[in-house]
Structure 1
Amino acid sequence: MTTALPHINGPLVLNDSGLETTLVFHEGRDLPAFAAFPLLENEEDRAWLDRYYNRHLELAELHGAGFVIDTPTWRANPDWGAQLGYGAAELDRINRDAVAFCRRIAKRWKGRVGPIAVAGIIGPRGDGYLAGQASAAEAEDYHAPQIASFAAGGADLATAYTLGSVEEAVGIARAAKAAGVAIAISFTVETDGRLASGCELGAAITSVDSETGGYPAYFMVNCAHPLHFAHLFSDGPRWASRIRGVKANASTLSHAELDERQTLDEGDPEDLGQRVAGLRRMLPALTLLGGCCGTDHRHVGEIALACCGHTKQARHA
């Protein structure tokens, strides 16, 4: 599938940062269910989202990198949507609208940033820090409607973030395959590099590929600090070649510790950039880089600088 997604084949492709933590801690927003997708419902919030994405796209232009625009739909699934009064029809509408919104941003940046793509974002059915209990078949049925909305809306691919179980990942990949949509699977890991289910990252990737005929276009790791999983790649395992993306947390704290904090741990942006650059030296396929919880455009800028080593302006000087 990767050959059908040229946006990941460049030397450096950037992504955005911790949207939800930026809204809560930097913008002081009340974010029920930790859901960002309701911001698409009014013009003032859409304008804020536009500025948020543009700030990151400016970094891509500065560093001569590509970009993947993630829709703000991590919580736009039935269980979380129901908490906010969204039924099936409303979720279909908002997921399609999210793709259209991001597609318009991509169009404005065409010629300035490239390659550029829009990814429809899927989140876990439950808490991303806990292992889901659903079977692969149940997960396939559950996530299929959101994937169908992304397909109808014209997304370039779908990306499932913060997954903690193999079964949910397999179900999402199967639903994407049935819909003919390219899919990226992103696992989150604990401080020991294992999924919340206890499964090793390598075993999880290998299992998903085995159960889906290798359908995922690529795998990612998100919502974890590089200190939590860099050690997994020291011996150059074969499965590591399937990892093409990382969206790292700013903090070195565990998920449990982060859940208990009332203030944001922004970590050290420069150090994070250097650690992500270290991951690239161990992972030859790693091209897609962004931030997750606690990060903002500063962290992505440091990641880009550490991994690119120069800006576009400097290269043309």
Structure 2
Amino acid sequence: MAKYRRSLPLLKGGLFLSDGGMETTLIFHEGVALPHFAAFVLLSTADGRKRLLSYYERYLDIARQHGTGFVLDTPTWRASADWGVKLGYDAKALADVNQNAIYLLTELRAKYQRPRAPIVLSGAIGPRGDGYRLGRMAADEAEDYHSPQISAFAASDADLVSAYTLTSIDEATGIARAAQSHGMPCAISFTVETNGRLPDGRTLQAAIDAVDTATGGYPHYYMINCAHPSHFDTVLDADSRWTHRIAGIRANASMMSHAELDDSETLDDGDPADFGQRYRALTTHLPRLRILGGCCGTDHRHIAAICEACLPPTALSA
């Protein structure tokens, strides 16, 4: 039974941490082979599951130390049909993967959950295509495509579904509609280019307003991920309604563009201390910012730096 599906605690206030760049950490720091950048393949072996648990525990330890809640995302960013075909997973195998990913996280929640520091289980969804390129699907097609993965999460203990690294308003709309049809709370996270806009040139405000209009405001909140804070901090206006819809940031460590990152053979993990200070600045632009995590190139050092920069002294000493 989902613990928080009917009432997400992060919508009531407080700060929640999340993890960093899972795939880049596993590949570049731990030497793990992830075909097609798919971390969910690790669920198929005991060693893989052990690696995932160890990965998550680093971040949960930081949250415990600082007395924050946590949004625990599954390693299923690639666990949808098109990627499954490339990796040898049929529809039944993918459904099992998505549900088993939640079961893995319930073990962690049982171990780390504490009063006043809730752990929310999030079924992670990625774009049908490459997160660095413009997606081209009609909303109805996107709803059909993403529905099986959302259905699998709905049948598990997932509290919500979170769709990351989206470049297309239509795909985001389809995901929100699929979540609504399955009774799942959902978060929509867009990525932007170095100018703070989606790859098609539209603004974050236009994207959020369009999805809200098309879905009756169904997404429970929005996020920004897979871009450095310097790529979008200047487009945020704390006095505008649309910025009040943004509750989470999972930024990249690197200031490089998506194209530059694609061409890079080494990991740019940036400066964790500077990264934390940039998050502190973002809190002044985003009045309802609740979820602080990382994306490509970030690891537990970056999340610790965010805590040091953003959490009040009372939280740090809790």
With the length of structure 1 as denominator, give the TM-score of the two structures: 0.96
2 CA distance for matches of 1:133 and 1:15?
A: 29
Residue 239 (structure 1) aligns with: 242
Alignment match of 1:36 (pick from 31, 34, 39): 39
2 CA distance for matches of 1:113 and 1:67?
A: 11
2 CA distance for matches of 1:3 and 1:132?
A: 31
Alignment match of 1:178 (pick from 178, 181, 184): 181
Residue 162 (structure 1) aligns with: 165
1 CA distance for matches of 2:6 and 2:79?
A: 29
Mark the CA change 1:78 to 1:272 in structure 2 (over 3 Å): closer, same or farther: same
Mark the CA change 1:234 to 1:240 in structure 2 (over 3 Å): closer, same or farther: closer
C-alpha contact (below 8 Å) 1:164/1:195 kept by paired residues: yes
Residue 228 (structure 1) aligns with: 231
Q: SS state of the match for residue 165, structure 2?
A: strand
* Residue identity matched to 1:212: T
> Is 1:66 equivalent to 2:94 in the alignment?
no
Residue 51 (structure 2) aligns with: 48
Residue 294 (structure 2) aligns with: 291
Residue 205 (structure 2) aligns with: 202
Report the alpha carbon displacement of residue 4 of structure 1 after superposing the two structures with TM.
2.5
Report the alpha carbon displacement of residue 18 of structure 1 after superposing the two structures with TM.
0.2
Report the alpha carbon displacement of residue 111 of structure 1 after superposing the two structures with TM.
1.8
Residue 271 (structure 2) aligns with: 268
2 CA distance for matches of 1:53 and 1:202?
A: 32
1 CA distance for matches of 2:53 and 2:313?
A: 26
User: Which segment is superposed worse, 8-17 or 144-153?
Assistant: 8-17
Report the alpha carbon displacement of residue 155 of structure 1 after superposing the two structures with TM.
0.2
Q: SS state of the match for residue 135, structure 2?
A: coil
Alignment match of 1:132 (pick from 135, 143, 155): 135
Aligned-pair Cα RMSD in Å: 1.6
Report the alpha carbon displacement of residue 197 of structure 1 after superposing the two structures with TM.
2.1
Q: SS state of the match for residue 313, structure 2?
A: coil
Q: SS state of the match for residue 155, structure 2?
A: helix
Note the alpha carbon deviations across 1:18-42, whole angstroms, 9 max, x for none: 0000011101122111000010111
Report the alpha carbon displacement of residue 3 of structure 1 after superposing the two structures with TM.
8.4
> Is 1:259 equivalent to 2:262 in the alignment?
yes
Report the alpha carbon displacement of residue 70 of structure 1 after superposing the two structures with TM.
0.3
Alignment match of 1:9 (pick from 12, 28, 45): 12
Q: SS state of the match for residue 69, structure 1?
A: strand
C-alpha contact (below 8 Å) 1:131/1:164 kept by paired residues: yes
* Residue identity matched to 2:260: E
Report the alpha carbon displacement of residue 282 of structure 1 after superposing the two structures with TM.
1.3
Identity %: 54
User: Which segment is superposed worse, 23-32 or 256-265?
Assistant: 23-32
Report the alpha carbon displacement of residue 311 of structure 1 after superposing the two structures with TM.
7.0
Report the alpha carbon displacement of residue 187 of structure 1 after superposing the two structures with TM.
0.2
Note the alpha carbon deviations across 1:28-80, whole angstroms, 9 max, x for none: 12211100001011111111111111110011011111001000000000011
Note the alpha carbon deviations across 1:76-125, whole angstroms, 9 max, x for none: 00011111100100000000000111111111112277111100000000
Instruction: List 4+ stretches of structure 1 deviating above 6 A.
Output: none
Q: SS state of the match for residue 317, structure 2?
A: helix
1 CA distance for matches of 2:283 and 2:5?
A: 18
Residue 92 (structure 2) aligns with: 89
User: Which segment is superposed worse, 23-32 or 151-160?
Assistant: 23-32
C-alpha contact (below 8 Å) 1:130/1:197 kept by paired residues: no
User: Which segment is superposed worse, 22-31 or 6-15?
Assistant: 6-15
Report the alpha carbon displacement of residue 295 of structure 1 after superposing the two structures with TM.
0.2
Q: Which runs of 5+ in 2 are unaligned?
A: none
Alignment match of 2:81 (pick from 70, 78, 83): 78
C-alpha contact (below 8 Å) 2:238/2:286 kept by paired residues: no
C-alpha contact (below 8 Å) 2:5/2:159 kept by paired residues: no
C-alpha contact (below 8 Å) 2:238/2:284 kept by paired residues: no
Residue 25 (structure 1) aligns with: 28
